[in-house]
Chains A and B, each alone.
Chain A
């Protein structure tokens, strides 16, 4: 097992034992589910909506070559500056060059998974810039020097009390057990930052080719302020986010909010087309859009798993995943956790290092069932397992499966082996759960169901 896989296992085991944290996550996601179902029910036909959304995103991807150039052309027409970054390194270089040119000191950021992906904060901080996350959840995890726990709810693993202690320690505030007071502390701190900041960095949810518009969804208004007050605005967006028409957002925006946040629509859905125009009183003087590849075209090149690029990062698959709920977001050790992360990370970052994520699934399919753009996540996990097994076979598994396939395709052998199994099973209690048990990996924590006393064939014969 490689170091990343060992780390994953260690972290997962630790979280599984942390019952308080698991309870917190379970309650939050349980309540979420009720609210989400209520919003789903308001659609005339949610299932059909998923089919349509999947179709729209498919077509957007299949025409990505034309769409993305159209986006570039229209953004430029609107006065934005478009950059292309094939790698994380190039994206970091672009941002840092802009910051340097503007003599920036303070940079405010609204939530951007792309920035997490390229480790932008660390890079900018290393160069001496002060980088402040403005989304409340992100602000909290940034103070803890932690990555987000969830794509949509970054600080869902923390209690009010932990956050109060954190604020008291880092911001010198009075301890409180009220979520509202804690939010107001953050509001006061961050208000000052927006006003002083030289640059605002955002992520984005959609890029619309035909108008040259970037669409950003949020609830807090922090992205709105990040885009309104600093002199320079930078949006870092994955190339898969391009859609052809503004009209498609009439479907995507409500679906994103419903699946991801259990809301019919999010608090702010904002389209940005460029820097401030003549006659507008505020907004940035420069608007930079960075189109980021960083492994996305690898995924696009896979005719089957390509559909994972339809993902609109709503986080719905995380919320329903029994594995995510149990091992938590940090165990994965990736930017994108949960089922979608387990699908795309091995392809984008190398199957050798990340194949263990493909096994972090019970293959129950709850993720695929809720996905608003119908990505068949659990099938992809299976496919990743297959790729991993073909690429780097494990010798004992190979022998084991060869034997199994011989036995299971030969009725006589099968019946002999099951009969032996039934006999040996009688001796099992002697070693069960101990190191001598051949099924130790299973029985140390679970029960082993007994082999049925009769096979179907035997039963059938006895009834005749």
Chain B
């Protein structure tokens, strides 16, 4: 018998003995309702959720700007560009991010299949859209479908995310439901919930940002 057969047979054999259940939730309640009851509260109104997202994102050292237009996004990015002395930016084929990049006045690397990794490595920042934001945790959800690939949201030292107001999901459950609905039957090869810039506490539990991925994560919502 091959290993598949062996393992499946052992599982089946093992499970013939009923479990001795101790100390678990026994009632047959609706699980999604239960999850809602136990997870951190998210408030009722959009403003409450926006405030919660801001608080959670900032606590994890992400920078968050709620703005009124793409003009404001561009103005803020220009300031960051000067402060960080950007040389070039990376983005993915997308109307919104490309139009913003075009107004920054720097060389743009638009990532398409077979892009040059050394060129990409030199980019000072990447600008991407997202699938949604999660108020409950302060997370940004990106995927290899929405941002064109995997590395763009993790390789450059500064990741900039552009989100729209209607993309703010209240809870983790809502965000997962949204992902499932959006990609039903055609799951992207990667979906990532990003919360804050890349971080580590592996040396004496001292927090250091930019362990391998972005040192800064900036989120714009308009």
Give me the interface of A with B, judged by CB distance under 8 Å: 24, 28, 31-32, 42-46, 48-49, 51-52, 54-56, 58, 61-62, 64-65, 68-69, 78-79, 83-87, 90, 134-137, 140, 153-156, 158-160, 163, 179-180, 182-184, 186-187, 190-191, 195, 211-213, 219-222, 224-225, 227-229, 239, 246-251, 253-254, 263-277, 279-283, 287, 291, 293, 297, 300-301, 303-304, 306-307, 374, 376
Contacts and interface: CB of A to CB of B under 8 A. Distances in A.
A61 B19 CA distance: 10
B64 to A, nearest CB: 16
B188 A43 contact: no
A445 to B, nearest CB: 31
B11 A64 contact: yes
B101 interface: no
B79 interface: no
B105 interface: no
B92 A281 contact: yes
12 contacts: A42-B40, A58-B21, A84-B6, A155-B202, A264-B137, A267-B195, A270-B192, A271-B187, A272-B189, A273-B187, A280-B188, A303-B18
A195 B118 CA distance: 9
A128 to B, nearest CB: 26
Contacts of B6: 84, 86, 293
Given A249-B176, A269-B192, A280-B149, A179 B208 contact: yes
A159 B206 CA distance: 11
B189 A183 contact: no
B35 A183 contact: no
A383 to B, nearest CB: 11
Given A52-B38, A225-B155, A272-B189, A156 B25 contact: no
Contacts of B18: 303
B15 to A, nearest CB: 6
Nearest to A220: B211
A250 B198 contact: no
A270 B203 CA distance: 24
B41 interface: yes
A248 B31 contact: yes
A90 B3 contact: yes
A110 to B, nearest CB: 10
Interface residues of B, number: 89
A81 to B, nearest CB: 13
Interface string B121-152: 10000000000000001110000110011111
Contacts of A225: 151, 154-155, 212-213
B189 A276 contact: yes
A303 B17 contact: yes
A306 B213 contact: no
B204 A281 contact: no
A31 B189 contact: no
A155 B38 contact: no
Nearest to B159: A221
Contacts of A158: 203-204
A293 B117 CA distance: 38
Contact of B195 (A190, A248, A266): A266
A180 B60 CA distance: 17
Contacts of A140: 202-203
Q: In this complex, which of A65, A229, A274 has the most chain B Cβ atoms within 10 angstroms of its Cβ?
A: A65
Given A84-B4, A190-B212, A228 B23 contact: no
Contacts of A276: 144, 149-150, 189
Q: Which 5 A-B pairs have the closest CB atoms?
A: A221-B213, A51-B25, A228-B150, A297-B10, A137-B202
